[in-house]
Amino acid sequence: MKTDEVRILLVEDDDIDAMGVQRAFFKEKIANDILRAKDGVEALEILRGQSGNSIESPYIILLDLNMPRMNGLEFLEEIRKDEKLKESIVFVLTTSTDDQDITRSYSHSIAGYIVKSDAGRGFLNLVGMLDRYWHVVELPKL
């Protein structure tokens, strides 16, 4: 699999945070397609092909926890119950440092929990780590 085939579903309600993620990918010269959903409901519609937007496999989900309509933890519960989506690779990307949020997220088999407050160069390092991640792992075609 070519690494540029890996698509990113960014589930983020905050426009500034979403632009920050996209800018970090650009700065790190990562050209993978990024599709954005503003909450868990919209993300599920995209993953299930129920909206004007859809995402092809393979993909990685970058998930915020604090969102309207359906928050990140509710979204994780939904996709893990869905036979077609339960194997999705999800990294939580959030402002929450709450131990309960971390524990609940990992109980839904996430690949990693990343706190957004590590801005600047640290965040660029995170984006670089994600780029290296999909260079070395085999991702399922869902």
Closest CA to 29 of 4, 52, 9: 4
- Average per-residue pLDDT in the chain? 84
Above 60 in pLDDT, residue 16?
yes
- Residue 2 binned pLDDT confidence (cut-offs 50, 70, 90): very low
* 97-119 residue pLDDT tens: 899 999 999 999 999 888 877 55
**pLDDT (mean) for 88-99:** 90
The predicted structure's pLDDT at residue 112? 87
What pTM does this model have? Answer: 0.85
* 23-36 residue pLDDT tens: 887 877 777 888 99
Above 70 in pLDDT, residue 135?
no
